[in-house]
Amino acid sequence: MGILDRFRLDGKVAIVTGASSGLGVAVAKGLAEAGADIVLAARREDRLAETAALVAAAGRRALCVRTDVADPADCQRLAERAAEFGTVGVLVNNAGVGTAVPASRETPEQFRGVLDVNLLGAYWMAQAAAAVMTEGGSIVNISSIIGLVSGGLPQAAYSASKAGLFGLTRDLAAQWTGRKGIRVNAIAPGYFATEMSDQYAPGYLETHLSRLPLARPGDPEEFAATVLFLASAASGYVTGTTVVVDGGAVIV
């Protein structure tokens, strides 16, 4: 096997949650270009058609499944449908929500709602996917640099949920890599254009970007390439770690 061959995902099915917009779209497209058939999951099933068209344009099959990752039964159903679609080898836990509410005013419902999707949802999906990864595989949890550093906004729930993914990643890797052949890693992205970044106050993003060594937002294809590395045999000796993709944000 040559070096570039290690990045191929031919014969594999990849599940991508949160595939209706933003970075999930770029990830689905990138994994399809590497040869995987893609199971696209999101609560807004009507938004998945455009992502499915990108997968088809790359010459791969797409299956769209409406999924609320906060519901363990939904996660189980998604994994079962993916297993019927082909050999599940990849799960990208990309679904996420965020709030920017001062801690003194954040309600229990707001806080729990973020954790239910970002942290518990990743756990339920990992459990469900691991059960159908009969030939081993790779789980990639999408965290955030906000789990490592402050973004200057009141984001207690979001920060806690993303920091929790680091611990979840390490523990699942310790449990499953040797016993099940499932590697588990995380990515902590920095500033990329997403629906959440559209909610920033005017000037917020520009101020943060000006301090970065790379002084620009990330390109979604740069993010997708990192996911592909962790999803594929190219990272066959990597498990339980977090790759920071942030233009240098955590060092300034």
| Tens digits of residue pLDDT in 78-91 | 999 999 999 999 99
Q: Per the domain annotation, does 251 fall within a domain? A: no
Name the DSSP class of 99: -
> What pTM does this model have?
0.94
* Predicted pLDDT at 149: 85
Higher-confidence residue of 138 and 153: namely: 138
Q: Are 86 and 225 in contact (CB under 8 A)?
A: no
Mean pLDDT of the chain: 93
Report whether pLDDT(69) > 90: yes
Q: Is 158 designated active site?
A: yes
Q: Are 19 and 94 in contact (CB under 8 A)?
A: yes
**pLDDT tens-digit series, residues 189-238:** 998 876 665 566 676 677 777 788 888 989 999 999 999 999 999 999 99
Q: What 3-state DSSP class applies to 24?
A: helix
In DSSP notation, 112-167 reads: HHHHIIIIIHHHHHHHHHHHH-BTBEEEEEE--GGGTS--SS--HHHHHHHHHHHH
Q: Per the domain annotation, does 50 fall within a domain? A: yes
Number of folded domains in the chain?
1
Rounded to whole angstroms, the Cα distance separating 208 from 228 reads 27
pLDDT confidence band for 143 (50 / 70 / 90): very high
Tokens of 70: 């906060």
Rounded to whole angstroms, the Cα distance separating 193 from 157 reads 21
- Among candidate residues 123, 158, 200, 237, the one labeled active-site is 158
Q: Per the domain annotation, does 62 fall within a domain? A: yes
Q: Per the domain annotation, does 250 fall within a domain? A: no
Residue-number span of the structural domain to which 130 is assigned: 4-245
